[in-house]
């Protein structure tokens, strides 16, 4: 196989630029959006930057967390919110963490049981359906502070359903979601692909909304490591960021994604047929149409910048849902975690354009605007939040 980036114009590894560590251990969870790591490995993109990548499949996000903290992994494909949960010590051990870059936007989904999906398609509201049940509904996500938890909670709350009081939230690793839905344990779940495509193919449930419809071009997975790794190995961290930037740029070509789907199907990666991975990696959701933003890996570099406003959004939601009770300087936390200076160096060396501001604006599914300027005020502005206890079901099943 030819190596597409064996020589980079204007960039050479010399003297003090040489990586302090040349073999880097990266963890990932078997999801379609681990594609940048797999592409970087298969195409040997690290060679041009003086590093070799070793990939280690992990069974759960908790395993990724634990092995990052212990140092067994140097870096990982990680949920954006996992990094901030560990940084703040929410529900588990604390460690000073770093976001080197964003790996992708969009590309996640929510799947419901066939019974609920059929009723929604017939025009009934989810709030009404859950209120009519005989037990407290159970919805799964993949990590307590992770992106999937936040998309699920936001979507439920936007429909007048309190995600902590009106339903029972549980954590399940992505590969187990479809089977849990089939068993009747779950009423729905939020996770990454291809585990929604798998549920549909197996007849266990149906995708009802894509995450890009909840927050268009939302941040999703990041390249994460401990901050002391960056401090001890700044050149290696920069080289790794450059390598993954190259991989993300390669994946923006849809024909390359077709090729990557074949790699992802291998037993060491996702381990599911490429026919289940490829369509949604290309934005083809069949009956749902093409109204949701495509999973993005690069977008001229606009995807990858570690925006401070993205980190602040997660902190605002931790406030909203009672996960973050202690007083913290949110802006200081985000500036410490998101490695904007290192990213600027890596992007500049590759000629990748960088945004004019570390903040960006968005409008979510409930028409609320977000620009990162007042995360506490944003959290307090929601009617449905942990300290308000306002929900739409309230029938004694809580």
pTM: 0.94
User: What pLDDT shows up at residue 85?
Assistant: 98
Quick check: helix, strand or coil at residue 205?
strand
Classified by CATH at the fold level, domain 2-105+218-306+328-356 comes out as D-Maltodextrin-Binding Protein; domain 2 (3.40.190)
User: What pLDDT shows up at residue 397?
Assistant: 41
Distance separating the N- and C-terminal Cα atoms of the chain: 57
Distance in angstroms (rounded) separating the CA atoms of residues 11 and 48:
9
User: What pLDDT shows up at residue 396?
Assistant: 38
Domain ranges of the chain: 2-105+218-306+328-356
Distance in angstroms (rounded) separating the CA atoms of residues 313 and 309:
6
Quick check: helix, strand or coil at residue 232?
helix
Task: List, for the chain, all residue ranges whose pLDDT scores fall below the cut of 50.
Answer: 1-11, 395-398
Tokens of 124: 């009934």
User: What pLDDT shows up at residue 56?
Assistant: 98
Let me know: does 241 contact 103? Beta carbons within 8 Å: no
Of 191, 128, 136, the residue nearest 160 (C-alpha): 128
User: What pLDDT shows up at residue 5?
Assistant: 39
Distance in angstroms (rounded) separating the CA atoms of residues 325 and 328:
9
Q: Write the CB contacts of 279 (distance below 8 Å, at least 6 apart in sequence).
A: 197, 285, 286
User: What pLDDT shows up at residue 287?
Assistant: 77
Distance in angstroms (rounded) separating the CA atoms of residues 274 and 81:
28
Of 203, 175, 186, 179, the residue nearest 114 (C-alpha): 203
Task: Using CB atoms within 10 Å of the CB of residue 343, give its burial: 0 to 12 exposed, 13 to 18 middle, 19+ buried.
Answer: buried
Task: Read off φ and ψ for residue 309, nearest 5 degrees.
Answer: -65, -30
User: What pLDDT shows up at residue 12?
Assistant: 52
Of 308, 288, 323, the residue nearest 359 (C-alpha): 308
Tokens of 74: 């140097």
| Positive/negative CA dihedral, 190, 226, 77, 344 | positive
User: What pLDDT shows up at residue 311?
Assistant: 98
Task: Using CB atoms within 10 Å of the CB of residue 14, give its burial: 0 to 12 exposed, 13 to 18 middle, 19+ buried.
Answer: exposed
Of 362, 366, 367, 318, the residue nearest 159 (C-alpha): 366
Let me know: does 21 contact 68? Beta carbons within 8 Å: no
Let me know: does 365 contact 26? Beta carbons within 8 Å: no
Of 110, 96, 92, the residue nearest 151 (C-alpha): 110
């Amino acid at each position: 196989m030819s190596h597409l980036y064996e020589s980079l114009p204007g960039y050479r590894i010399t003297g003090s630029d040489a990586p302090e560590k040349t073999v880097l251990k990266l963890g990932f969870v078997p999801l379609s959006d681990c594609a940048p790591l797999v592409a970087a490995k298969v195409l040997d993109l690290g060679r041009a930057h003086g590093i070799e990548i070793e990939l280690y499949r992990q069974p759960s996000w908790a395993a990724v967390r634990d092995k990052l903290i212990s140092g067994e992994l140097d870096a990982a494909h990680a949920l954006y919110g996992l990094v901030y949960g560990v940084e703040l010590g929410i529900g588990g051990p604390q460690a000073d963490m770093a976001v080197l870059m964003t790996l992708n936007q969009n590309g996640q989904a929510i799947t419901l049981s066939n019974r609920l999906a059929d009723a929604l398609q017939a025009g009934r509201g989810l709030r009404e359906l859950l209120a009519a049940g005989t037990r407290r509904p159970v919805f799964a996500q993949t990590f307590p502070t992770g992106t999937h938890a936040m998309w699920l909670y936001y979507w439920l709350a936007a429909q007048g359903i309190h995600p902590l009081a009106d339903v029972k939230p549980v954590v399940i690793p992505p590969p187990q979601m479809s089977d849990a839905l089939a068993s009747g344990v779950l009423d729905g779940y939020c996770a990454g692909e291809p585990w929604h495509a798998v549920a549909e193919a197996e007849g266990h449930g149906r995708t009802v909304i894509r995450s890009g419809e909840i927050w268009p071009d939302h941040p999703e997975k990041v390249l994460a490591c401990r901050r002391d790794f960056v401090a001890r190995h700044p050149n290696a961290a920069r080289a790794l960021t450059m390598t993954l930037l190259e991989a993300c740029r390669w994946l923006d070509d849809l024909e390359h994604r077709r090729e990557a789907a074949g790699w992802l199907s291998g037993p060491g990666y996702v381990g599911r047929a490429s026919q289940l991975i490829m369509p949604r990696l290309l934005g083809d959701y069949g009956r749902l149409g093409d109204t949701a933003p495509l999973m993005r890996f690069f977008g001229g570099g606009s995807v990858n910048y570690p925006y401070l406003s993205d980190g602040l959004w997660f902190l605002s939601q931790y406030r909203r849902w009672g996960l973050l009770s202690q007083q913290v300087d949110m802006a200081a936390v985000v500036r410490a975690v998101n490695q904007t200076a290192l990213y600027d160096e890596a992007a500049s060396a590759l000629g990748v354009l960088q945004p004019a501001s570390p903040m960006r604006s968005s409008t979510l599914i409930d028409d609320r605007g977000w620009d990162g300027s007042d995360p506490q005020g944003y959290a307090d502005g929601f009617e449905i939040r942990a300290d308000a206890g306002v929900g739409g079901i309230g029938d004694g099943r809580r």
